[in-house]
Structure 1
């Protein structure tokens, strides 16, 4: 049977004009449009997230004097809230336990500062003499530094001579060290007072703010997630700060006894330095060792014996960092060293020494949020100290 060309054209036209054929050719267009819209929404959301993070960092930087006391007060309240809740089970009102705990913290801090004020004042008075003795012990290094300084001064003189003589120079008088120290002490006392008062109010209110936070969310799933985040942050912060305080106290006693046995002057002050400096991860230990080495060089005439105090300080920090802290705190903290060091540097740049001291607790709070919010799970994975994928591979390679 033969088909004429006319019938072939009619058949082709019928195939082309079939209703389902046109729909099939344009079937992927709505799906592609929806995917494009979703991708654009994700890009816009990420861009807005970056903008919000930058604005928040700028606000934290410029509003340090206002935000810092409130952040410190909240950390104190999170640390002590399990104690007030535990005492409340025995019928003690929250206001009573809150007042007792805040008074205990304030009196302990004030007593420690009073006991250390005498040795610290003596160190300040002896600072010029210590500096001269240290320069004498390090004469060769000082000579090299003096040569570099003279060369830099010559370069500056040449640069100044090349400038126009008509340039107006303005000199701004800087406040003296006594004035600066007094201002810093007033600022520190004000920050501590505001933080303690805020912590007192938070502890006395019991769980009312937790209830307010839960009531702010519309459905049961979000309420449960918010409650888990709050209690997780409270539990981790409380365990971390209480544990690290006890560990640092043990380190301070060990360093103080070591300095006393080696004949270093004011061993109690060295114990206090080890206790306080160890709240700064990595940086505090290095600073304490350097300071101990400088004082040992000034105190002892024999160079080999002068190396014993910093070596003892270093050994105590190694034992604490490699054995004691991982055993009592490693699994609870679950943060890698890079994240901790980066947080210390970032918050030290933002808020100075106070920010460096609060860096790890703030990182623990952020890690708790990442563990309970699916959108932040990727960030939480980067903060982990272990690698879940590697553990799964190891289990698959060595089945039980």
Structure 2
């Protein structure tokens, strides 16, 4: 009887343990959901942190160059940071007036755009008839909606808008200052932080391995982001020249938009094409001419993506386009425009560390296999030596 009780107790424990193992997937799912919730609701904290990390990879290269000419990292980081802020400030100064002009002008030009669109539709008779029927239906529905007695007027207090604007401005200033301070500390003391973290391992081999992985990953990511930045700047310059040659107003604005939006794969160039299409419809008389800016943007982005990037970046930084698109969609859903700008750099950072960890695991397996082979060979040699001694003694 005691043996049967022990057997039953053992079976019950096995069933309970299997049930606990079955809960592992839901627990991981809950953990992922909790992480996503924290990233979303605390985005005011995490967005500056992630932006500072991404910018530090780009600006670390000039800081290292200054260190080679005996400028300490603390001073070099300050110089690079001030130069970057100055460049962005000058760019914002020259971009303010063109952006203001288009923001004020665009609502007045809606009628002109609609006229050009109607002109484009006129060449397609069947499409035009269908469009007119749809427009008539929408007009009827709109008229009935306006005449409905249940419509209520919504009054928005101007004070609430003012308070919202003040809160958003304050949050932006605090986040921006936090971003600048963190970026400076990463540039000035990033190497010291890595070495301090490295000392937490007692095993010297682990410390050396961690330092090698970190340095190689940092170099590859910095090299990639710097090349992408230079390519995007070149794309912006060529775009501005193209817009200037065809007579587009504010060509510098479209060059800057091409540079910035090209950091968002697929979606960014599409947004830029839509913007220049609307401006082309406003600027040029004929629809065929109005489509020329969008065609220039499309052609330049095809050349940049299919020729320039593979030529300078190479295959070592190639990531599956499906993962790139998913990354842009995910971070855009989580953090909006800021997330879309950081999607590819964050994916690149993750990809680099995964590759290095895989290489490390393969090297460890190879070393383990070599050690086992050496041990087997030593054991065989020892057995052979014993056999020889026995033969001699006999």
User: Runs of 5+ in structure 1 lacking a partner?
Assistant: 1-29, 378-400
Matched with 1:367 is 351
Separation in 1, partners of 2:92, 2:245: 24
Instruction: Give 1:235's match in structure 2, choosing from 219, 224, 240.
Output: 219
Separation in 2, partners of 1:109, 1:145: 47
Instruction: Give 2:338's match in structure 1, choosing from 323, 330, 354.
Output: 354
Instruction: Compute the displacement of 1:36 (Å).
Output: 9.8
Matched with 1:335 is 319
Separation in 1, partners of 2:221, 2:252: 29
1:1-400 maps to which residues of 2 (within 5 A)? 46-139=25-118, 146-147=135-136, 149-150=138-139, 153=142, 171=154, 173=156, 187-220=171-204, 222-373=206-357
Separation in 2, partners of 1:220, 1:43: 39
Separation in 2, partners of 1:174, 1:318: 48
Instruction: Compute the displacement of 1:281 (Å).
Output: 0.6
Question: RMSD over aligned Cα, in angstroms?
Answer: 3.6
Contact 2:217/2:356 (8 A) holds in 1? no
Separation in 1, partners of 2:16, 2:68: 54
Alignment deviations for residues 67-94 of structure 1 (CA, whole Å, 9 cap, x no partner): 1111111222222223323432332111
Separation in 2, partners of 1:230, 1:125: 49
Q: 1:45 to 1:357 in 2, by over 3 A?
A: same
Residue range with higher mean Cα deviation, 80-89 or 109-118: 80-89
Instruction: Compute the displacement of 1:317 (Å).
Output: 0.8
Residue range with higher mean Cα deviation, 277-286 or 128-137: 128-137
Separation in 2, partners of 1:199, 1:266: 33
Alignment deviations for residues 278-320 of structure 1 (CA, whole Å, 9 cap, x no partner): 1111001011111111111111112222222211111111111
Alignment deviations for residues 250-298 of structure 1 (CA, whole Å, 9 cap, x no partner): 1111111111111111111111111111111100101111111111111
Residue range with higher mean Cα deviation, 214-223 or 97-106: 214-223
TM-score normalised by structure 1 residue count: 0.74
Instruction: Compute the displacement of 1:134 (Å).
Output: 0.7
Instruction: Compute the displacement of 1:153 (Å).
Output: 4.6
Separation in 2, partners of 1:64, 1:281: 22
Alignment deviations for residues 36-90 of structure 1 (CA, whole Å, 9 cap, x no partner): 9998887665544333222111100110111111111122222222332343233
Q: 1:351 to 1:155 in 2, by over 3 A?
A: farther
Contact 1:85/1:206 (8 A) holds in 2? no
Instruction: Compute the displacement of 1:213 (Å).
Output: 2.2
Separation in 2, partners of 1:293, 1:246: 26
Matched with 1:390 is none
Contact 1:240/1:333 (8 A) holds in 2? yes
Alignment deviations for residues 92-131 of structure 1 (CA, whole Å, 9 cap, x no partner): 1111100000001111111101110011111111112222
SS of the counterpart of 1:279? coil
Contact 1:293/1:306 (8 A) holds in 2? yes
SS of the counterpart of 2:336? helix
Count of matched residue pairs:
340
Q: 1:49 to 1:232 in 2, by over 3 A?
A: farther
Instruction: Compute the displacement of 1:155 (Å).
Output: 8.7
Contact 1:229/1:368 (8 A) holds in 2? no
Contact 2:57/2:218 (8 A) holds in 1? yes
TM-score normalised by structure 2 residue count: 0.75
